[in-house]
């Protein structure tokens, strides 16, 4: 999974083609926003249900004694693969001038790849199969992420970004519920998730028809590196980048191991399995995230204060992480899920707005938002390795919560040096 900022492109760094506001651009498809919501919800459902539950169960079944280290290894290697493959897939769709064929191809290939993943029985083969799954899903993700800048006029980007952003809480809830339903038969669960993506890709490409865009040559590697250095040379953008990276690292260090935390750290009520607990916690977290996303964005606009809300929400996320650190009760996990959703949802909504205000140059906005996405994707690579190391060295999950809380506090403090935004 590669968390991305709503409205950002595929991150290919390619030169802009005729945008949706130009005379040569195709008219936006009617009903595109519901299709974007559907397409992104299906994608996040697979990421959460497979990577967050079924994969963890499969790894535990293969080697229970080393499940934490093995899960960290598989998740970390596959995250590296996804981060590298995403811009490659985006560049391929750029060069073709089309998005729909890549969305459809990635969606349909999800079925055989999920079948393969459910049929392997060693950690090495699980790693290889899930890397293949990440390749297929990043073909789908890179193309569907580019639909917004391709087809949506600038004046409607806010609504489109909301549709994309809501895909995370909705998809997370669906993924948790489906994953829990097939926790005793993860092979069938894999196929169900593959079918969800396949059907969604058919629906999306059938209804969201497109006209061929002018093909865009990929930016040379040296130019990409120069662009990265140029953006981070800006004082305010650099601190926004650092704050986002710290917060995302703390968030994913814990969320990636949620199932194991519920199994090995939390005192669950009698009769409640860890898989059922995930299915209860995820909707709570998602509702809290939606509420704080909408409310936080509105309030930050109302008071014209971005740094205050970004810092406060990051601090709230740190407080949430302290709750299960001091108590292993089920009530503590419920409280953590709600408070964490409130903090993370508000943070992502307002921080994205803040970043758009500290971009070094308006003409390079798309490029610099792509640079920001490294702050999203990079920590997701590091998080599984960090988490498994902390749990192994610390002898449990309490040190993991504390480390993640410290990272969130540092993320809150990182916005203070920003000068150009209140």
- DSSP character string of 114-138: HHHHHH--SHHHHHHHHHHHHHHHH
pLDDT value at position 229?
67
Rounded to two decimals, the pTM is 0.79
pLDDT value at position 141?
87
Q: Would you identify the CATH topology of the domain 1-9+28-218?
A: Growth Hormone; Chain: A; (1.20.1250)
Residue 349 has pLDDT above 50, yes or no: yes
pLDDT value at position 26?
45
Q: How confident is the model at residue 18 (pLDDT cuts 50, 70, 90)?
A: very low
Query: Among the listed ranges 26-35, 163-172, 274-283, 363-372, which one has the minimum average pLDDT value?
Result: 363-372
Helix axes 32-46, 157-181, angle to 10 degrees: 40
- 327 against 26, higher pLDDT: 327
pLDDT value at position 17?
43
Mean pLDDT calculated for residue range 203-213: 83
Classify the phi-psi angles of 65: left when phi > 0, otherwise alpha if psi is within -120 to 50, otherwise beta: alpha
- 177 against 420, higher pLDDT: 177
Percentage of the chain exceeding pLDDT 70? 84
Query: Among the listed ranges 187-191, 195-199, 367-371, 388-392, which one has the minimum average pLDDT value?
Result: 367-371
Q: How confident is the model at residue 226 (pLDDT cuts 50, 70, 90)?
A: low
Cβ pair 47, 4 in contact under 8 A: no
Mean pLDDT calculated for residue range 302-331: 92
Q: How far is CA 398 from CA 78, 153, 254, 313, in A?
A: 26, 47, 10, 22
SS3 358: coil
- The C-alpha atoms of residue 119 and residue 116 are separated, in whole angstroms, by 5
Task: Match domain 223-422 to its CATH number in 3.90.420.10, 3.40.50.2300, 1.20.1250.20, 3.40.50.720.
Answer: 1.20.1250.20
- 48 against 211, higher pLDDT: 48
Q: How confident is the model at residue 221 (pLDDT cuts 50, 70, 90)?
A: low
SS3 294: helix
Cβ pair 116, 129 in contact under 8 A: yes
> What's the whole-number average pLDDT of the chain?
84
Non-local (6+) Cβ contacts of 155 within 8 A are: none
Q: How confident is the model at residue 23 (pLDDT cuts 50, 70, 90)?
A: very low
Query: Among the listed ranges 69-78, 115-124, 210-219, which one has the minimum average pLDDT value?
Result: 210-219
pLDDT value at position 63?
94
Percentage of the chain exceeding pLDDT 90? 47
pLDDT value at position 151?
80
Give the model confidence (pLDDT) of 135-189 as tens digits: 999 889 888 877 877 787 766 666 776 677 788 889 989 999 999 999 899 999 9
Mean pLDDT calculated for residue range 200-218: 79
pLDDT value at position 97?
80
Residue 197 has pLDDT above 50, yes or no: yes
Q: How confident is the model at residue 278 (pLDDT cuts 50, 70, 90)?
A: very high
Note whether 1-9+28-218 and 223-422 share their fold: yes
Domain residues of the chain, as ranges?
1-9+28-218, 223-422
- The C-alpha atoms of residue 144 and residue 416 are separated, in whole angstroms, by 35
Cβ pair 378, 245 in contact under 8 A: yes
pLDDT value at position 404?
95
Q: Count CB neighbours of 25 within 10 A.
A: 17
């Amino acid at each position: 999974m590669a968390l991305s900022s709503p409205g950002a492109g595929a991150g290919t760094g390619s030169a802009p083609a005729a945008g949706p506001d130009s005379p040569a651009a195709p008219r936006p498809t009617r009903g595109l926003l519901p299709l974007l919501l559907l397409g992104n919800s299906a994608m996040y459902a697979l990421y959460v249900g497979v990577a967050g539950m079924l994969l963890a169960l499969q790894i535990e079944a293969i080697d229970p004694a080393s499940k934490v280290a093995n899960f960290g290894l598989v998740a970390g290697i596959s995250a590296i693969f996804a981060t590298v493959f995403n811009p490659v897939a985006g560049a391929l769709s750029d060069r073709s001038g089309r998005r729909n064929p890549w969305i459809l191809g990635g969606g349909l290939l999800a079925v055989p790849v999920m079948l393969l993943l459910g049929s392997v029985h060693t950690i090495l083969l699980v790693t290889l199969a899930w890397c293949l799954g990440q390749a297929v899903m990043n073909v789908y993700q890179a193309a569907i992420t580019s639909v917004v800048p391709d087809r949506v006029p600038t004046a409607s980007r806010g609504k489109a970004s909301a549709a994309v952003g809501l895909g995370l809480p909705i998809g997370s809830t669906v993924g948790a519920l489906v994953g829990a339903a097939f926790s005793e038969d993860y092979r069938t669960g894999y196929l169900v998730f593959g079918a969800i993506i396949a059907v969604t890709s058919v629906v999306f490409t059938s209804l969201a028809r497109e006209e061929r865009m002018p093909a865009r040559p990929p930016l040379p590697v040296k130019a990409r590196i120069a662009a990265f250095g140029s953006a981070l040379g800006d004082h305010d953008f650099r601190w926004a980048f650092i704050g986002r990276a710290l917060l995302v690292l703390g968030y994913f260090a814990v969320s990636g191991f949620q199932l194991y935390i519920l199994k090995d750290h939390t005192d669950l009520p009698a009769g409640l399995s860890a898989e059922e607990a995930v299915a209860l916690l995820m909707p709570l977290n998602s509702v809290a995230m939606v509420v704080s996303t909408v409310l936080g964005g509105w309030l930050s606009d109302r008071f014209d204060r971005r740094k205050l809300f970004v810092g406060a929400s990051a601090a709230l996320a740190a407080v949430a992480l302290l709750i299960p650190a001091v108590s292993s009760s089920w009530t503590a996990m419920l409280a953590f899920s709600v408070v964490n959703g409130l903090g993370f949802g508000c943070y992502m909504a307002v921080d994205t707005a803040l970043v758009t205000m500290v971009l070094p140059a308006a003409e390079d906005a798309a490029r610099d938002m792509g640079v920001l996405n490294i702050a999203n994707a990079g920590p997701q690579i590091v998080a599984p390795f960090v988490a498994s190391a902390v749990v192994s060295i610390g002898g449990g999950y309490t040190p993991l919560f504390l480390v993640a809380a410290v990272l969130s506090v540092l993320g809150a403090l990182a916005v203070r040096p920003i000068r150009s935004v209140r």
